[in-house]
């Protein structure tokens, strides 16, 4: 079951996970910096910086590009999702998380934890490589009702950066470490109790054999 094709998801979440970002805006085809790197939650559509005017009062999310994949700043994501156990990366002094699953590495190159949904290699204590993998896992294990504790009711979401930001991030990063004060929940805001209770078991069972 693909998350992007699941009609039980809120329209904005389904659109966010299935949208193709960083394509040129056809409305502003001749303009500079016309890549569609902003998502409007109220209209469920991607827009470019030149399209902002009609969306001034809407909830807007800056999409960024890191190693050829779409990412969100962790600070922005935590306003919308419970991002606990989703692996974060640090680049340009900001923590980011991936929106969707990425191609898997070559067999034999994975050490440590693996994603509970797609088997991508992770660092402890993370259980998911992306937002979409966590959403899909919740739908499979808890059903649509499980999304109520995962999604936050965000009424106000302004852009965190100026509209001129092209969203591209320097391809140099390291996996964000978990501080001792985080309680083992990774970098995601409010702990997900269901996942927290099973984290230790899942972490042990799903480790690759050396």
Whether residue 137 is contained in a domain is answered as yes
Q: Do 175 and 102 share a structural domain?
A: yes
Q: What stretch of H or E contains 40?
A: strand 38-40
Whether residue 174 is contained in a domain is answered as yes
Q: For residue range 184-208, what is the model confidence (pLDDT) as tens digits?
A: 344 443 333 344 434 433 433 344 4
Q: For residue range 18-68, what is the model confidence (pLDDT) as tens digits?
A: 999 999 999 999 999 999 999 999 999 999 999 999 998 999 999 999 989
Q: Do 184 and 143 share a structural domain?
A: yes
DSSP-based three-state secondary structure for 175: strand
Those residues whose C-beta lies under 8 Å from the C-beta of residue 14, and which sit 6 or more positions away, are 3, 4, 6, 7, 44
Rounded percentage of the chain residues whose pLDDT exceeds 90: 59
Higher pLDDT, 120 or 194: 120
> What is the pLDDT at residue 116?
93
> What is the pLDDT at residue 40?
97
Instruction: Report pTM.
Output: 0.75
Q: Do 187 and 121 share a structural domain?
A: yes
Q: Do 198 and 94 share a structural domain?
A: yes
Dihedral, 45, 51, 56, 59 alpha carbons, nearest 10 = 20
Tell me which of 7-16, 65-74, 85-94, 103-112 is least confident. 103-112
Q: State the residue range of the domain holding 190.
A: 82-156+168-210
DSSP-based three-state secondary structure for 70: strand
Which DSSP string corresponds to 95-133? EEEESS--PPPPTT---SEE-TTT--EE-TT--BSBHHH
Rounded percentage of the chain residues whose pLDDT exceeds 70: 70
Q: Do 57 and 151 share a structural domain?
A: no
What's the structural domain count of the chain? Answer: 2
> Within 13 Å and on the Cβ side, how many CA atoms surround 135?
24
């Amino acid at each position: 079951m693909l998350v992007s094709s699941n009609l039980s998801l809120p329209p904005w979440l389904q659109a966010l996970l299935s949208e193709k970002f960083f394509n040129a805006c056809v409305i502003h085809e001749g303009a500079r910096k016309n890549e569609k790197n902003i998502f409007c939650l109220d209209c469920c559509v991607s827009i470019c910086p030149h399209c902002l005017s009609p969306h001034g009062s809407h909830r807007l999310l800056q999409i960024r590009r890191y190693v050829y994949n779409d990412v969100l700043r962790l600070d922005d994501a935590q306003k919308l999702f419970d991002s606990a156990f989703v692996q974060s990366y640090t680049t340009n002094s900001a923590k980011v998380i991936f929106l969707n699953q990425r191609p898997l590495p070559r067999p034999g190159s994975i050490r440590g934890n693996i994603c509970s949904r797609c088997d991508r290699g992770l660092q402890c204590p993370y259980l998911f490589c992306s937002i979409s993998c966590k959403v899909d896992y919740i739908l499979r294990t808890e059903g649509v009702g499980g999304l109520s504790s995962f999604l936050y009711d965000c009424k106000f979401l302004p852009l965190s950066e100026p509209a001129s930001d092209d969203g591209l991030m320097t391809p140099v990063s390291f996996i964000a470490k978990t501080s001792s004060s985080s309680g083992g929940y990774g970098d995601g805001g409010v702990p997900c109790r269901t996942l927290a209770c099973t984290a230790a078991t899942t972490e042990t069972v799903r480790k690759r054999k050396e």
